[in-house]
Structure 1
Amino acid sequence: MGQNWFLRQMAYEFVADRLTSDAYSVLRAVEMDIGAGWRINVDNTSSVYQQPMSGHYYQVAVDGKWFFSRSLWDSQIPAETGQDIGQENIRLMQQNNKPTLVYSKTFMKQGREIQVVLAEDISRIEESLSQLGWLMAGLGFIGLIILLTLQIFIIRRGLSSLKEVKQDISRLKSGDIRQLSPTNTREIEPLVTEINYLVQNMELRLQRSRNAVGNLAHAAKTPLTVIDRHIDTLLEQGVPQGQGIKEQSRRLREMIERELTRARIAGAALPGQRIYVGDELEKLIRTLKAIYREKALVFDLDISAKSYFPGERDDLVELLGNLLDNASKWAESQICIKAHMDEHCLELIVEDDGPGVPAEARERLMNRGERLDESTSGHGLGMSIINEIVRQYQGRIMLDSSELLGGLKVVVMLPRRADLELTKQN
């Protein structure tokens, strides 16, 4: 709008300058005829003033007599009254229903006041200015669209890097990658660097914590072993209190093992870690077959390809190790292991062909260190450790009779990592 107004003012000034020049030409055409008096010598004026309704007009007043250009036809221009000599006046008016710029000035010639009034139709100029205004508005609108498009492109380009970081974080959580990929976006690069540093720092802290727990376990076993030897000496000497002390020593050892196991359990996996259950099962089965060689155990495996443990490898080894160790101790010859993962949880099922556990005794078996048969080590601290790991991962554990093999059936359900994180947030 401001540019259109500026162009209109320039056009008006250009027309006014031309009218001023024509006014002097018309003034020169005003002549005094001795016989006829004052007249306009049209030969000295521009031909446009002789064409009817040409859009260029003049009228001249001398001694109260008006002379009109032929272009005015039967109309006339409203004249200014009381105009001083040498005074110029420019105004905009409607002539024949068209916008017209009017210029008037009073001159002195041969001792007479002569008022010259000129007018020019500026409708074409107004139309051109209007078209120019629409053109500029259109160009401005197009420019605005281009600017907005460019801005959207720049924003999307910047956000695309964030989208890539978001995808990398999802892959990091699922264990597909160990750290975020480098980015070329300068503003986002520090964020990626800090996240990678945080992940590495968490791994180092967890490793140091586990090393400390391992050192503590090793340090605690030595004095307990010495105490057990002294207790055995007391029992050999027939000291009656020796048996009670030995029982308390056993309980103390189990308590230490239980608390150390709890300390080793990480809970949720660090970002960038994903453990396939089948890989760890194969290693454990080889070990158990060697330990229980005399039983010639047969392990029947049904492991789906998507069975990934939503946590730390050490926790998975601890969980599977205790499940399979208990099953191996009580099984006659066969153990069935299943692992499946759906959209909500990982399900682990371990069944054996042993004597099983009565329904009324299953709840008692889940108590810390509780054993149903004191003559056989197992189903006690091992089940307590299993229960502790499952609780840490906010999962569920169920004991039942195996319809397939007839022994004990242990079902462990652990939520997927995304569900686990949502549960923690809630």
Structure 2
Amino acid sequence: MRRLRAPYRSLRLRLLAGVLAWVLLSVAVAGWGIQQLFRQHILAQLQSELTIHLDQLTAALQIGEDGRIALSPLPSDPRFSHPFSGLYWQISAPTQHDKPAQMLRSRSLWDSYLPDAPAELQPGRDLRTTASGPGDAHLQVRMREIEPAEGPFDTLVLSVAADRALWAEPISRFDRMLGMALGVLVLGMLVAAWMQVSYGLRPLVRLRGRLADVREGRADRIVGAFPTEIRPLVEDFNQVLQRNEQSLERARQQAGNLAHALKTPLAVMSNAAAAADPALPQLVVEQVDTAHRQVDYHLARARAAAAVRVTGLRSPILPLLQGLVRVMQRVHAERGLRYELDGVDADLAFRGEAQDFQEMLGNVLDNAGKWASHRVWVRASRRDGELEIRVEDDGPGLSPERAETVFERGKRADERTPGSGLGLGIVRDLADLYGGWARIEKGALGGACVVITLPAA
């Protein structure tokens, strides 16, 4: 698998990269939006100013008795008096096809003219347009056509224009100020993000130190106060440590139990061999069989303990029970016992190893066959995510006190019945390892009923 580059292995850098990308995108969009709003505001203010000047021209317009056009008073804005100041006005008579017979212009136009009125200009409605002005300047022009009540002119065109520099320079200055302000904002947000990420990741640094204490043996658990988001991880890890400790302790105990269980058969055979006991061959067979059972018992526990940690195990129980019933019918063929499977659906499955299921049910079915008179009844069902297997016989049954005793390793319900006393002890131990349980209660056939609960797949 391809190894990740170093920057992508750093959670801090990944968080900061995400914050940086989001901050830059947000600030860029916000800056663009603010810039557009300011530009629209400046242009709207410019148009409003041109409208005011146009209204002043309209109000000040006078036509003398001799038909000459005059303004009284002149527009008050001093920029109209400075040549090429960028603010201009003009009054013309567009009905003359050659140069207008009369034309009034602001001093700021000097020897230049504003453009003639376009065809779409209508009386009573102002027209906004653009044109080239003095020095090829880009102008915003506002025109108005009026019809004087007296005088020789049918219509007059009043024009007010402003150079692009009048609004471009404030917008450019605002853009520079906005860029610097947003740059400072980005730096401030990045510093805040760095501090926030560093503060937010500090519990992980503390967790790393606690893990180092566990690894070096200075502590057996992760201790300390951690945030709500990290606390489940700490608790789960502590549970893993506890389970490992329990598994280690269980392995030590099993090793000790196995050693103790094998010590007795070895001691018996050693003593018999030293004493030259003539029954030594038979004694060896019996003690080897006992040792073999002990080894099988502890191997079954070890296998079940390992299987519990494996996910995805699924063992259908119907074919397993059918195979065990066939075996038990042959084992107890001389007694004519009848094993019956009832209500075991084909979709029922055990979440574990099939060998462990056979180990448990084989012991239970064999034990039921030893005590049954004529019949052994086997049922299985699923309830609340668990399998419940019930094995009943029509034997004499057990009292509640004796029912618990038979689950103890080495204990038997009747010492006269052959066996080592390990069978039902194995059943409960394996069921317990899988998170289940085994118990004995009064059965419907009059005898004992062994009930085993196991996790269902």
The alignment's TM-score, normalised by the length of structure 1, stands at 0.51
Paired position in structure 1 for 2:128: 90
Partner SS state of residue 58, structure 1:
strand
Q: Is 1:101 matched up with 2:131?
A: no
Classify the secondary structure of the residue corresponding to 1:43: coil
Cα distance change of structure 1 residues 121 and 72 upon mapping to structure 2, 3 Å threshold: same
What are the superposed Cα offsets for residues 213-237 of structure 1, whole Å, 9 maximum, x if unpaired? 22232233233333333333326xx
Structure 1 counterpart SS, 2:276: helix
- The aligned amino acid for 1:13 is A
1:183 CA drift (Å):
4.2
Residue 195 of structure 1: how far off its partner (Å):
0.9
1:71 positional shift:
1.9
2:160 equivalent in structure 1:
118
Q: 2:216 aligns with which of 156, 159, 174?
A: 174
Instruction: Return the offset for 1:166.
Output: 2.9
Mapped to 1, the partners of 2:238 and 2:131 lie a distance apart of: 77
Determine the C-alpha separation between the residues in 1 that align with 2:200 and 2:118. Answer: 70
Contact 1:30/1:38 (8 A) holds in 2: no
Aligned-residue offset at 1:47: 4.9
In the alignment, what sits opposite 1:134? 176
Q: Where in structure 2 are the equivalents of 1:56-75 lying within 5 Å? A: 56-62=87-93, 64=100, 65-75=102-112
Query: Which one-letter code corresponds to 1:109 in the other structure?
Result: P
SS at match of 1:234: coil
**1:125 partner letter:** W
In the superposition, relative to structure 1, how do residues 32 and 224 fare at CA in structure 2: closer, same or farther (>3 Å)? closer
Question: CA-atom RMSD, angstroms?
Answer: 3.5
Counterparts of 1:8-47 in structure 2, within 5 Å, are 8-35=39-66, 37-47=67-77
SS at match of 1:132: helix
Other-structure match for 1:7: 38
Quick check: 89-98 or 194-203, which moved more? 89-98
Sort the Cα spacing of 1:53 and 1:172 in 2 relative to 1 into closer, same or farther, 3 A. Answer: same
Q: Which amino acid aligns with 2:231?
A: E
Matched residue, 2:191: 149
Cα distance, 1:134 vs structure 2 = 2.2
Call closer, same or farther: CA 1:18–1:110 in 2, change over 3 Å: same
Verify: 1:203 aligned to 2:245, yes or no.
Answer: yes
**Partner SS, residue 129 of structure 2:** strand
- SS of corresponding position for 2:128: strand
Which residue does 1:76 correspond to in 2?
113
CA deviations 1:268-294 (Å, max 9, x no partner) are: xxxxxxxxxxxxxxxxxxxxxxxxxxx
* Conserved? CA contact 2:148–2:155, under 8 Å: yes
Asked whether the 8 Å contact 1:29–1:41 carries over to 2, the reply is yes
* Equivalent-residue separation in structure 2 for 1:193 and 1:99 (angstroms): 73
Change (3 A) 1:72 1:218: same
- In structure 2, runs of 5+ residues without a counterpart are 1-31, 300-457
Deviation at 1:173, TM superposition (A): 1.8
Flag the 1:93–1:168 CA change in 2: closer, same or farther, 3 A: farther
Other-structure match for 2:366: none
SS in 1 for 2:63: strand
**Alignment-derived partner of residue 435 in structure 2:** none
Closer/same/farther in 2, CA of residues 215 and 227 from structure 1, 3 Å limit: same
Q: Alpha-carbon deviation of 1:141?
A: 2.9
1:13 deviation in Å?
A: 1.7
Q: What is the CA-CA distance between 1:94 and the residue it aligns to? A: 4.3
1:78 maps to amino acid:
P
Q: Deviation at 1:162?
A: 2.5
Structure 1 portions without partners, runs of 5+:
264-426
1:165 is aligned to 2:207 = yes
Q: 1:97 Cα shift?
A: 4.7
| 176 and 234 in structure 1: CA distance in 2 versus 1, 3 angstrom threshold | same
TM-superposed CA distance for 1:42, in Å, is 4.6
Q: Is the 8 A contact 1:182 1:189 kept in 2?
A: no
Matches within 5 A, 1:7-406: 7-35=38-66, 37-48=67-78, 49-62=80-93, 64=100, 65-82=102-119, 83-95=121-133, 96-111=135-150, 112-234=154-276
State the alpha-carbon separation in 2 of the partners of residues 124 and 118 from structure 1. 14
Shift of residue 188 of structure 1? 1.6
Deviations 1:263-322 (A, max 9, x none): 9xxxxxxxxxxxxxxxxxxxxxxxxxxxxxxxxxxxxxxxxxxxxxxxxxxxxxxxxxxx
CA 1:183–1:124 in 2, change beyond 3 Å: closer, same or farther? farther
Q: Give the match for residue 338 of structure 2.
A: none
Q: How far off is 1:167 after superposition? A: 3.3
1:69-121, CA deviations, whole angstroms, 9 ceiling, x for partnerless residues?
Answer: 12211112112233222232112344335443211110111153110001123
| TM-score, length basis structure 2 | 0.48
**2:43 and 2:167 in contact (8 A); partners too:** no
Fraction of identical pairs, as percent: 22
**8 Å Cα contact 1:50-1:70 kept in structure 2:** yes
- Native 8 Å contact 2:86 2:165 kept in 1: no
